[in-house]
Amino acid sequence: MFKNKVIWITGASSGIGKALAIDFSNRGAHLILSSRNQEQLNAVKVLCESNLQTENSILVLPYDAVKEDAIPQLVEQAKNFKGKIDYLINNAGISQRSGVLETEMSTYRKLFDIDVLAPIALTKAVLPIMIKQNSGHIAITSSVAGKLGVPFRTGYCAAKHAVMGFFDALRTEVFQYNIKVSTITPGYIRTNISKNAVKGDGSSFGKVDASIEGGMDVAECAKVIIKGLEKDKPEIPVGIGLEMKLLWLKRLFPKLVFKIMNGQYKKIAKSNQLDV
Ligand SMILES: NC(=O)c1ccc[n+]([C@@H]2O[C@H](COP(=O)([O-])OP(=O)(O)OC[C@H]3O[C@@H](n4cnc5c(N)ncnc54)[C@H](OP(=O)(O)O)[C@@H]3O)[C@@H](O)[C@H]2O)c1
């Protein structure tokens, strides 16, 4: 299914993006790996290369999600790699660990720049290529936080809800070009997400949460995502914790879920090692 497909993954230097790259390389895909840390991307490339089947290959294409001006050249380079882009996986992102009152507006803007506007800009730039091909698949790593309101993540939840709206609407516009859109909604997955999360002043949180520590193994997560993409699933939930049950519970009993989340305030603060 993925053999000789060109798959562009953002946030490929770490966590979910890295695990996706390793798994896709096993399946004979050509990969384009993007994020800021070129050294880490090269290390992921080396890991993937040990899996490569003869024809597939890997392009490291570093980028900073907030540098919108660089996108046209970046997309040109991605297209020139193999002359097509089959999958764009908008996975790069940052989370948040701070209460609303101590979160500066600049931090909310940072979350929206990286988690919302960057994947929108990249998607808009790649779409003409996919429309010309009359084929393609675009994915966005949203979150359970794109479906539920979680304490200490007001900006992250707002950003992940925003991408759910954008990519759901996009699906309705691009199906006519044979382009699929998948939103991925992970629960807690064991990655560096909480370490790299922003505090109220925009600096790094720097700690691993208990909830992340107890989350799903990242290689398992990649497998579930790839299975979902293989089946052209519009929405791909992935996780092992109670948070996954809240997804469907909210559809049936929203008031109950709001109550549960109120009750979670102190528990989440403790798990996130935050003072309240
Ligand atoms: N882990 C979870 O529990 C969880 C749950 C729900 C959703 N998610 C989502 O999953 C996605 C991947 O996160 P992860 O868990 O794998 O965390 P991670 O290990 O911290 O990886 C985040 C990735 O995003 C990249 N990134 C961050 N800022 C960037 C920027 N300005 N420009 C370009 N790339 C940037 C990082 O690369 P560089 O540092 O090299 O730039 C890194 O590769 C995120 O969108 C996150 O919101 C994660």
Nearest protein Cα to ligand 1, atom 10: 141
Q: Is 108 a catalytic residue?
A: no
Ligand 1 pocket at CB < 6 A: 11, 13-17, 35-37, 40, 63-66, 91-95, 114, 141, 143, 186, 188-189, 191-193, 196, 212, 215
Closest ligand 1 atom number to CA of residue 195: 20
**Architecture category of domain 6-271 in CATH:** 3-Layer(aba) Sandwich (3.40)
Ligand 1 center–CA 253 separation, angstroms: 31
Ligand 1 center–CA 231 separation, angstroms: 24
Domain ranges across the chain: 6-271
3-state secondary structure the chain: CCCCCEEEEECCCCHHHHHHHHHHHHCCCEEEEECCCHHHHHHHHHHHHCCCCCCCCEEECCCCCCCHHHHHHHHHHHHHHHCCCCEEEECCCCCECCCCCCCCHHHHHHHHHHHHHHHHHHHHHHHHHHHHHCCEEEEEECCHHHCCCCCCCHHHHHHHHHHHHHHHHHHHHHHHHCEEEEEEEECCECCCCCCCCECCCCCECCCCCHHHHCCECHHHHHHHHHHHHHCCCCEEEECCCCHHHHHHHHHHCHHHHHHHHHHHHHHHHHHCCCCC
Q: pLDDT tens-digit profile of 138-166?
A: 999 999 999 999 999 999 999 999 999 99
Closest ligand 1 atom number to CA of residue 66: 31
What pLDDT band is residue 276 in, cutting at 50, 70 and 90? low
Ligand 1 center–CA 238 separation, angstroms: 16
* Tokens 């808009």 -> residue: 124
Q: For a pocket test of ligand 1, which of 191, 220, 236 has the largest count of ligand atoms closer than 8 A to its C-beta? A: 191
Q: pLDDT tens-digit profile of 188-206?
A: 999 999 999 999 999 999 9
User: What is the reported pLDDT for 50?
Assistant: 87
Q: pLDDT tens-digit profile of 67-91?
A: 999 999 999 999 999 999 999 999 9
Nearest protein Cα to ligand 1, atom 8: 143
- Please identify which of the residues 87, 156, 177, 265 carries the catalytic annotation: 156
Q: Is the predicted pLDDT of residue 268 greater than 90, yes or no?
A: no
Ligand 1 center–CA 17 separation, angstroms: 8
pTM, two decimal places = 0.97
